Amino acid sequence: MRRETKTWVGRLLAALLVAAALGYIPYHVYARSGLARTLALRRDLAELHARNEDLRAENERLAREADGLRSDLGAVERVARTDLGWVRPGEIVIDLGSSPEASR
What b/e readout covers 70-93, taking b as 16+ CB neighbours within 10 angstroms?
eeeeeeeeeeeeeeeeeeeeeeee
pLDDT at 104: 54
| pTM value surpassing 0.75 | no
Residue ranges covered by each domain of the chain: 1-33, 41-86
pLDDT at 103: 53
DSSP string, the chain: --HHHHHHHHHHHHHHHHHHHHHHHHHIIIIISSHHHHHHHHHHHHHHHHHHHHHHHHHHHHHHHHHHHHH-HHHHHHHHHHTT----TT------SPPTTTT-
Question: Mind listing the pLDDT tens digit for each residue in 19-78?
Answer: 888 888 877 777 766 777 888 899 999 999 999 999 999 999 999 999 988 998 888 888
pLDDT at 39: 86
| pLDDT (average), residues 83-104 | 77
Higher pLDDT among residues 90 and 32, named by residue: 90
